[in-house]
Chain A
Amino acid sequence: MAGGTASSGGTAADTYKNARPWLLLPAWAFLGVFVLAPVFMMLVYSFLTKEFRGGVIWEFSTAAYDQFFFNRGLFGDEPPTIEWTYIAIFWRSIWQAATATLMALLIGFPTAYFIATRPEKLRPMWVFLITIPYWVNLLIRTVSMKFMLRDNGPINDFLVGTGLINEPITIINTNFAVQLGLFYSYLPFMVLPIYASVERYNFSLSEAAADLYASKWVTLRRILLPAVKPGVVAGCILVFVPSLGSFLAPDLLGGAKNFMIGSLIEEQFKGNAGNWPFGAAASMVLLTMVLILLLIFARQQARAQKGTG
């Protein structure tokens, strides 16, 4: 950050330039108190010793990470082998979140494209319609979804009623139910950034491509998609990251065996059965992974930018 040096005969812009570090203070304070401090606390807690009825003992320990990654037998005296339980939960979380993101992309992209190609006056209305369901609390929406997906819920009733299937199909308590739940929870986060970038897209580029004998599909792949990629990437991140740490959809729609990392963490802080350092350690692993993914994306974006600029 450049320091503010007083300049003689400064313009208004110079004045603000000098004041800039101070103007940014509230933002830094906010970030510090609400983002950095909690992460730091989590980091500290993940290296403390657990107290049996929840809470911690202020004594340094790596037991939480050890428990996450290694198996030392029931009594902790065997030679360590890799503990697959939590890695498997992690892996499942990534898979579920990735699938939900893909579903959101497949549904969200055409939706965003549709809205962005409506007459300008109607677009705000379409955006508003998309966001209406999200004025309802996430918990209530997820519970409603559970109701919809039940064996004798409306969806199965409808499918059986129309004769498409003979018996209700089990959707609830499957991986697919969780994916549906995550997809539905975060769909607007996919639609809105893509909509914003498609709206800025210069459609005469598509016309130029068609004029030069490109089919609709080739035009989409080679002209439109590269132009709106920043919006697509933003949408994918905004759906993937919260899906990865989500616990409502897996808990309510997935049942006990479709556990995700969010639920694992949540349980460590609930009631007396929890293990705070372990929960904090799992959060740190999750955070680290998300940060690595974001860095990879950012690097790629920067490289693509350099190519265009």
Chain B
Amino acid sequence: MSDSRKIAIDVRGAVKRYGDFTALNTVSLSIYDNEFFTLLGPSGCGKTTLLRMIAGFEEVTEGAIFLFGDEIADLPPNKRPVNTVFQNYALFPQMTVLDNVAFGLEMRGQSRPESRRAAGEMLELVQLSDFASRRPAQLSGGQQQRVALARALAPKPKVLLLDEPLSALDLKLRKAMQMELKHLQRETGITFIFVTHDQEEALTMSDRIAVMSAGALQQLGAARDIYERPHNMFVADFIGETNLLEVTVREVRDGRAICSLGGGHILSGKSDQEVRIGARVHISVRPERLFMSDAPTDAEGLRGRVRENIFAGTDITTLVDLDEGPNLVVRTSNSDRGNKRIFEPGSAVYVNMEQEAARLLMD
């Protein structure tokens, strides 16, 4: 990541309306230079809209977007030092792969031989040199995807926009491309703004993630930060897997809210916000931050009975029915088997939380 922390893209209070439908509602975020930044959210939440506003294909209804400190509202797409990898690739069908990649360089005024030479180098980088003289239609989906990437990278933009570039690829290819993209970003030092609806992909690849929902920014932070300290129920639920428990606040002590779940269960969680005694709130705990024991380890052990163990390669997922309460998902990594126990279905157990594992969520 950059050491200077220069801001590449600054979105300030951006609103986008189509008629009376608000696709993007007052989004403000700063994207640093050399950063792998991800816009994450479910389909229809406005990711593409924001990306298209940065590229210049959509006008900003309200607010402004700054590129390295300059407002870019008046710059048409072909004057913005920003390139896009389109979701459907949008390769020029009548041109060869090489000409596709050389197009942007030529448009920037490089001579034809010079731009073709540089395009050839770009193709080497994405390992497609052998396909230079083919037409896009003669390539597989994954190859087309790499051509689109090479074409967008060739003019050395300051910022690269990628709109769900991997969504059309099968799982194995997608995983390989994730690594390749990450490497490319590190090597080139270009700021990547990556759009995806796949939270796992976002967590693996990003320096920072902006989680969006219904046209609004929900949380912005480092991947780990968002996973471990979700701001609200949407983020907790959307990122990774979590146990969401509805509880009542009984007492607040040292910034921790002690809550009751019903059925005599007591559990406590940290909150960033002020909480009121008696409020109905949610507590979120990641399954891997829970562990089981046959005796309570402290006052907050949740009593229950194991219903089922599900083996899934690297870990085991256990479903526990709490006595007179909801069920919990507990995940035990196989590498943790030394200090974490697995119980047979039907066993009575106590479910315990690791330190700081529980998060109090107000909405």
Contact = CB atoms under 8 A, between A and B. Distances in A.
A214 B107 contact: yes
B155 interface: yes
Interface string A211-236: 11111001000010011000000000
Interface in A284-309: 307-309
A212 B151 contact: yes
B88 A204 contact: yes
Interface in B65-111: 76-79, 82-84, 86, 88, 90-94, 103-104, 107-108
Contact of B94 (A215, A218, A226): A226
A213 B76 CA distance: 9
Nearest to B96: A307
A218 B78 CA distance: 11
B345 to A, nearest CB: 53
Nearest to A214: B107
A308 B93 contact: yes
Contacts of A213: 78-79, 104, 107-108, 155
* Interface bin, chain B: 20 to 34
B155 A308 contact: no
B92 A208 contact: yes
A202 B94 contact: no
A210 B76 contact: yes
Contacts of A208: 84, 86, 90-92
Contacts of B92: 205, 208-209, 223
B128 to A, nearest CB: 18
A207 interface: yes
B159 to A, nearest CB: 12
B333 to A, nearest CB: 43
Contacts of A209: 92, 103
Interface in A149-204: 202, 204
Contacts, number: 61
Task: Report which residue of B55, B77, B84, B91 has the largest number of chain A beta carbons within 10 angstroms of its beta carbon.
Answer: B77
B137 A207 contact: no
Nearest to B109: A213
Given A218-B107, A308-B135, A308-B137, A211 B94 contact: no
Contact of B78 (A204, A215, A223, A309): A215
Contacts of B311: none
A202 B90 contact: yes
Contacts of A202: 88, 90
Task: Report which residue of B56, B78, B84 has the largest number of chain A beta carbons within 10 angstroms of its beta carbon.
Answer: B78
Contacts of B155: 212-213
Nearest to B102: A212
B122 to A, nearest CB: 13
B86 A204 contact: yes
A212 B104 contact: yes
Contacts of B91: 208
A197 to B, nearest CB: 13
Nearest to A207: B57
A98 B152 CA distance: 42
Contacts of B103: 209, 212, 214
B151 to A, nearest CB: 7
A207 B107 contact: no
8 contacts: A202-B88, A207-B90, A208-B86, A208-B90, A210-B77, A210-B78, A211-B78, A211-B82
Interface of B: 55-57, 76-79, 82-84, 86, 88, 90-94, 103-104, 107-108, 135, 137, 151-152, 155
